[in-house]
Amino acid sequence: MTTPTPTRPSLLIVSFSPIIADARLLKQIALFRDDYAITTLGHGEKPDGVVEHLRIPDELAVWRYPRLAVVLRQYRRAYRENKAIAAATSALRGRVFDVAIANDVDAVGVALSTTVRAGIHADLHEYAPRQHEELLRFRVFVKPFIEWICRHHVAKAGSWSTVSNGLAREYARRFGFRPVVVTNAAPFVDAVPTEVHDPIRFVHSGAAQRSRFLDTIVDGVLASRAGTLDLYLTPNDPSYIDELKQRAATTGGRVRVQDPVPYARLAETLRGYDVGIHILPPVNFNNRWALPNKIFDYVQARLGVLIGPSPEMAEYVTGYGLGVVAEDFSAQALARAIDGLTPETVSAAKAKAHAHARELSSENQVTAWRSAVEALLARL
């Protein structure tokens, strides 16, 4: 007589992103796929490791809320009539899950619209109410709406997580719930540091967005005495990439704009460099308290790290000896920091990245998600 296989708990993961290209979502799936029957709801193709994928049409962007309803502060209507949210809610109609993870504030109301027996964990990738606060129209019209979503949807989740302590503190201060921190750490890579190049090879990987001020990085490298820079950019803003390529073409090969590589190949690609750069001026609250995945990508590639004085990033770079914090966010300060590097200091930073690579890997972070989901299931 055979023993029946226990039924796995059902887990719904909701995200308004292309899940197969979202590193944080892929970590959630990898963490739970062996022990849970996962259904994903989001844009793009079905990711590996899930039993079902409910696809939201790619052309339905969640940020396109009905403008008039938002301006008139008819927030329930604005949320309900958002086409992406309406499609997601329709796809879930009549379904029942044991537990759910809603990624970002827009997704929590969708999870609340279906039957989730144990409760919902909200993973908040940004501090949404101040994400674009440098824009007047955002502060006047969008911020109050997102604060409404946080009070009426996100606060009803059973548990929460976010990406840095600064964001967690602000959610607690404004809305009364304190997320645990799950950094955007990268999976552990079994590798060793490469020898330092002459001249030093700098690299930046990430989104091609003007709010990332990539021109400052280019200006800083070109103002320094030596060193080359390669940019691996996802095509968020093709016109901005074209501008950067035109600029790079005038630098005699010191700056190059490369095509993006799949995330699975990123660490291997980055290992061909010496120092990863990220300069992020604090033009809004999220920039100030950013702790982005690229810092951890650089660690797994065994690179040194050069950043501006962003407090969350600086805590890691100085605390673990990973590299250098520039005096400010200007190109001039970046150039001075570059000129202060030597092959010996870069080699020492790469060695520190190697020493702390396992400690700073995602495997040591995602356990907080498992604890949160298991705590919700314990209510059943």
Q: State pLDDT tens for residues 67-76.
A: 999 999 999 9
Q: Which amino acid is at 225?
A: R
CA 45/CA 60 separation, integer angstroms: 15
pLDDT value, residue 4: 39
pLDDT at 3 over 90: no
Residue 78, both tokens: 């604005």
Kindly report, as residue ranges, where domains of CATH 3.40.50.2000 are found in the chain. Answer: 10-182+365-377, 201-356
pLDDT value, residue 1: 38
Contact between 60 and 78 (Cβ < 8 Å): no
Contact between 290 and 310 (Cβ < 8 Å): yes
Contact between 213 and 321 (Cβ < 8 Å): no
229-277: pLDDT as tens digits = 999 998 889 999 999 999 999 999 999 999 889 888 999 999 999 999 9
354-363: pLDDT as tens digits = 999 999 999 9
**Strand order, beta sheet including 255-258:** 255-258, 228-234, 201-207, 275-278, 304-307, 323-325
Place of tokens 């820079």: 229
277-303: pLDDT as tens digits = 999 999 999 999 999 999 999 999 999
Q: How many CB atoms lie within 10 A of CB 184?
A: 20
Q: How many CB atoms lie within 10 A of CB 210?
A: 12
For range 33-46, the mean pLDDT: 97
Contact between 67 and 82 (Cβ < 8 Å): no
CA 46/CA 174 separation, integer angstroms: 36
Report the mean per-residue pLDDT for the chain.
95
Q: How many CB atoms lie within 10 A of CB 295?
A: 25
Q: Which of 221, 227, 203 is nearest to 301 (CA)?
A: 203
Burial class (CB in 10 A: 0-12, 13-18, 19+), 365: buried
User: What pTM was computed for the model?
Assistant: 0.90
CA 348/CA 124 separation, integer angstroms: 35
Contact between 43 and 56 (Cβ < 8 Å): yes
Instruction: Give domain 10-182+365-377's CATH architecture.
Output: 3-Layer(aba) Sandwich (3.40)
CA 247/CA 77 separation, integer angstroms: 46
CA atoms within 13 Å, Cβ hemisphere of 344 = 0
Gyration radius of the chain over CA positions? 22
pLDDT value, residue 235: 87
305-318: pLDDT as tens digits = 999 999 999 999 99
Give the CATH class of 201-356.
alpha beta
